[in-house]
Structure 1
Amino acid sequence: MEIQIAPIRDTNTTIAINLTPGTHDINFYVTSPDWYQYVAIGIGNAMEDALILVMGHTEPFFDPNVKVTVHYSAVTENLDIIVHGTCHSCHALAASHIEFNRSLPLIWAVGPSLSLESDDLDAPIRRHISYGKFTVDAETATGSPPKLSEFRSADGKNIGVLFQEDEAVIVDRRPRNGIVHGVLYAIAALALAPIDFLVAGLLAAGHASRARKRTCAWTHYATATVYTGFVFAALVPGMMISRDHIRTRKYTTPHQIIGLITVALMGSMFIWGLALLFLKRSATKRNQALFEVGSKLKLSASHRWVSRIVWLLLLINIGLGLKLAEHRPIFILGYVALAGGMVVVLVPIYFCVWWCARRRRKEETETESHELPVIYDNYHR
C-alpha cells in the first residue's frame, strides 16, 4: 500500500500522504479531534516559504495557484475531524530546494482548543499550540491514489515515517512575553501613572518650605522615572511577541501604532521634565526668574497636558491589546469597568489638586508682577 502514515499520539492526530505517479498531486488524509481550531501540514523543514495546507471544518487556501479537492470531510460521533483530499500540483509548488525522495521533510501543527467559526480566507487563526516534524519516503508513497477505506484501515499505524524529534512539541498556551508585556503595561497605567500625577499635582498646589518642596520635587522625579521605566520595559516583550505573529510583524495594528506613539511621547516628556528641572535650578542659583510668567506657564501646562494624553492613550491601548490578543469579551469588559471606575474616582481628586494649583499660580503671578520692577532695578544698580 503506497501510503506513508504519521500517528501523532500526543495530539490524537493522524496524517497520511500519497503521491500520484505521473502528476504533481499529493493525496492526504487527516484525522484530529475537532476541539483544535485547525490542523496544518507543510512541505519542508520550517514554516518560512513552505507550502502549508490548513484544515479545520472547512479547507481554506490562500495561494490562488493551489487547487485543493476535498473528497470527503466530516466530524464523527467521537468528535474527530476527518479530511480526505488532493492537493493538485502541490509537488511543483513546493520550495525549489525540496526533493521528493526517500527523505521528504514535512511539518505539522494543530491550533488551540477554539472553534474557528469562520470560512473567511483571512480568518485570524491563532498560533499553534503543538507542532513537529517528520520525514516520509516519497518514493514508497508514490502509487495509485488510495481509497478512503484504505486510509481508514491504516489509521493510527506508523507506516514509513521517521520523526525528526519527539512526536509533538507542546507550545506554552500562554506566551510569557505577552503576559509580561500586559502586566507591565497595566502596572504603569493603573498604578504608577495615577501616583505620579497626584505627586505632581501636590507639588504644584502646595504651600510649603523650600526644603519640603525639594523633597516633593524629587519624589515626583522618582515616580516619573519608575513610571517611564515600566512603559519602556513593557515595550521589549511586546516587540518580541510581535515577531511571532504575521499580523503584528509590520507594526500596522492600532495597538502597536498607539503603543509606539505613547512611548515616543513619554520619552519626550521625561526629557522635557529633566530640562525644566535643570533650567529652574540654574535660574534659582543665579537668583533670577526662569522665564517670563506667560512662557513659564505655557511650558509647564504643555508638559502636564501631554502627560495626561499619554496616560489616556495607555488606558485605551491596554484595551486594544486585550482585543488583539483575542481575550474573552468578559475579560475585556472587566478591564473597561476597572479603568472607568478608576477614572471616576480620581477625577474629583485631581480636580481639587488642580484648583489648589490654579490658586497658587494666580498668587505667584500677582507676586511676580509686583516684584519684577524691583528685581530689574536691583540688577542694574
Structure 2
Amino acid sequence: MRSFSTLSRLSLAVSAALSLFTTSTQAQDVNTTLSNATAGSVFVSPPRDLAFALNVPSDSTTDLYFSLMFPEGTSWAAVGLGSDRMAGALILLAYPSESGQNVTFSPRIASGHSEPVFTPEIKVEALEGTGLDNGTFIFNGRCTNCRSWSDGKGKIDVASKSQNMIYATGDTSTLKSDSFDAPLRMHYNYGTFTLDMAHATGPAGVPAIDRSENSTLIATTQGLSKEGKKDVAAIMHAIIMVFVFVGLYPFGIFVLHLGSWVRWHGINQGFALILTIIGSSLGFSISKYYNRSKKVNSAHQVIGILIFIFIFAQFTLGFLHHRTFKKTQQTTKMAPIHVWMGRVIIVMGVINGFLGFPLAQASQYNYVLAGLVLFLFPAMMLVLVTKKFIQKRWNKSKNEPAGYNLEPWNQPNGQAGQGNNPQQPMGQNVSIPAASTYMPYHAQAKGGLGPQQNTREYV
C-alpha cells in the first residue's frame, strides 16, 4: 500500500510538473508572439510604395533585424539609417533580382546627393520570408554591424526615441539585377522620418509588418515627403542634344542646299552651337551624381567630348572660309574640310544619342530617337531631290527651241512665217523682191474684164 501510495504521489508530481512546463511554454510563446508583433517600429511611406520595420535585439550589442517591402512596379526601395540627409547615411537598398522572383539586397553608403556606393563591409544575412510574395518584394534580414559604420563616423543611437531616418524609392523603370552595385536612376519619391529605437527593442527576430491597406505607422513619425521627383538636368540634356543633332545641324545643311541661304545657314549653326554648349554643360554636371558616369570613361562621354571639340573647330573653319570668300569671291581649301567635318559630326552625334539612353537607364527612348532619324532625314533628302529634279526640268524647258509655228499668219509686223527674224529666208534671191511686196492685181482698168466680182454671186 505504501509503495502504491508513493508511486501515485510520484505520478501526480510528474503530471503537475509537465502541466506547469506546458503552461510556461505556452505563455512564453504568447509573449514571443506579442513581442514580435510589437517589439518593432514600423514605417510606411505616404504613397505606400515602401514599408520598413526595425527590431533591436535586447540580447545583442551589434545586431539589427529588419524587414523591407516594396510592391512590383517600383524599381528599388531604400532606407537610410542614422541621418536626415544622404551624406554619411547607411543605405539599406533592395531591388528585384535578374529573374524578377527574388530580391537583391545592396548595403551602400552615401557621400552626398549622389548615388550611394556598394559597401561590402556591411554584413547582411537574408532570412526566411525573403522573396516575391503576392506582388510584393520582401527582404527580411539580419545585419551584424549596422549600428556603426565608416569607422564610427556614422552610427545610430539604439536608446533614441526619435532616431533620424531617410527613405527613397525609384520610378517604374524595369531594374532587375543580381549585381550588388547595379546602377540606379534618381529616386522618384523620397522623404524623412524618425523612429523610436526604444520601442523597437525586444527579443531578437524580424518584426512583422501589417500588409493591409489600413496599416498604420508604429512608433515612427513622418517628416519630409516628396513625390514625383525627376532628374530635370538629365532630361533637358537629352532633349537639347537630340534637338541639336537630329534637328538644327541637319536643318542648317538643308537650307544651304535648298536655297543657298548662307546667312540663315550661319545663324542656324551659331544657335545650334549655343545649345550644344548648354546641353554639354548639363551632361558634365549630372555625370558626378551617378556611379556609372563619375569616372567619365563611358563610350557616350568620350564621344561626346570629341564632338564638343570638333564643333568648335567646325564653326571656326566655316567662319574663316566665309570671310575669305567675301573678299576674294573664290572658294578656299577650308571649304571641303568644313563640309565633311559637319557630316561626320552629325553622324557621331546621332550615334552618341543611341549610346546615351542606355547609360541613363532609359533604353526605351532609343525607339523615339530612331523614329525621328528615320522620318526627318529622309524627309529632308526627299525635298532636296525633288527640288533638284524640278530645277533641272525648268532649266531644260528654258533652253529648248521654239519649234514650228502652226499659224504663221498671226505673226506681228507683217512678218508672217518669219517669226521675229527680219532677214530673208535662205535660198531667196536678193535681187527679186519678196512675194509679200507684190500688190494683188485688180482688173479695174478700161477694157478690162470688168469690176471685181463677189464670190457670193457665183453661188
Give the 5 Å matches for 1:178-257. 178-201=234-257, 216-257=261-302
Distance 1:70 1:161 in 2: 24
Give the 5 Å matches for 1:144-155. 144-146=203-205, 148=206, 151-152=208-209
Q: Which runs of no fewer than 5 residues in structure 2 stay unpaired?
A: 1-37, 96-101, 107-117, 389-459
Q: 2:226 aligns with which of 135, 147, 169?
A: 169
> 2:67 matched to which residue of 1?
29
In the TM superposition, residue 109 of structure 1 has moved relative to its aligned partner by 1.4
Distance 2:337 2:385 in 1: 18
> 1:52 matched to which residue of 2?
91
Contact 2:149–2:155 (CA<8 Å) still a contact in 1? no
Aligned amino acid, residue 193 of structure 1: Y
In the TM superposition, residue 303 of structure 1 has moved relative to its aligned partner by 1.6
The 1:153–1:336 alpha-carbon spacing in structure 2 relative to 1, beyond 3 Å, is closer
Percent identity at matched positions? 22
Give the 5 Å matches for 1:337-352. 337-340=371-374, 342-344=376-378, 346=380
The 1:12–1:223 alpha-carbon spacing in structure 2 relative to 1, beyond 3 Å, is closer
Aligned amino acid, residue 277 of structure 2: F
Aligned amino acid, residue 338 of structure 2: H
Give the 5 Å matches for 1:1-381. 1-21=38-58, 22-43=60-81, 44-56=83-95, 57-61=102-106, 62-72=118-128, 73-77=130-134, 79-93=135-149, 96-100=153-157, 101-102=159-160, 103-146=162-205, 148=206, 151-152=208-209, 156-165=215-224, 168-173=225-230, 175-201=231-257, 216-281=261-326, 284=327, 296=332, 298-327=333-362, 329=364, 331-340=365-374, 342-344=376-378, 346=380
In the TM superposition, residue 26 of structure 1 has moved relative to its aligned partner by 1.4
Q: Tell me the secondary structure at the aligned position of residue 37 of structure 1.
A: coil
Distance 2:103 2:210 in 1: 24
In the TM superposition, residue 244 of structure 1 has moved relative to its aligned partner by 3.7
Distance 1:193 1:26 in 2: 58
Contact 1:13–1:32 (CA<8 Å) still a contact in 2? yes
What is the alpha-carbon root mean square deviation over aligned residues? 3.2
Deviating runs (4+, > 6 A) in structure 1?
Answer: 348-354
The 1:12–1:312 alpha-carbon spacing in structure 2 relative to 1, beyond 3 Å, is closer
Distance 2:170 2:318 in 1: 48
Distance 1:53 1:3 in 2: 17
In the TM superposition, residue 352 of structure 1 has moved relative to its aligned partner by 11
1:242-264 superposed Cα distances (whole Å, 9 cap, x missing partner) = 34433223333222222222122
1:290-346 superposed Cα distances (whole Å, 9 cap, x missing partner) = 8xx8xx3x32211221121111111112222233333354x4235325424544555
Q: Tell me the secondary structure at the aligned position of residue 222 of structure 1.
A: helix
Contact 2:90–2:149 (CA<8 Å) still a contact in 1? yes
Q: Tell me the secondary structure at the aligned position of residue 292 of structure 2.
A: helix
Contact 2:104–2:177 (CA<8 Å) still a contact in 1? no
The 1:232–1:353 alpha-carbon spacing in structure 2 relative to 1, beyond 3 Å, is farther
The 1:188–1:142 alpha-carbon spacing in structure 2 relative to 1, beyond 3 Å, is same
In the TM superposition, residue 130 of structure 1 has moved relative to its aligned partner by 1.0
1:47-70 superposed Cα distances (whole Å, 9 cap, x missing partner) = 233221212332333422222112
In the TM superposition, residue 104 of structure 1 has moved relative to its aligned partner by 2.3
Q: Tell me the secondary structure at the aligned position of residue 151 of structure 1.
A: coil
Distance 1:18 1:263 in 2: 53
Distance 1:152 1:224 in 2: 60
Distance 1:302 1:352 in 2: 27
Distance 2:253 2:49 in 1: 54
Distance 1:346 1:264 in 2: 27
TM-score, scaled to structure 1: 0.74
1:162-219 superposed Cα distances (whole Å, 9 cap, x missing partner) = 3332xx311335x43333222222222222222211344568xx7xxxxxxxxx4322
Distance 2:367 2:168 in 1: 32
Distance 1:126 1:89 in 2: 28
Distance 1:202 1:157 in 2: 67
The 1:187–1:37 alpha-carbon spacing in structure 2 relative to 1, beyond 3 Å, is closer
Distance 1:45 1:142 in 2: 21
The 1:26–1:195 alpha-carbon spacing in structure 2 relative to 1, beyond 3 Å, is same
Aligned residues, how many? 326
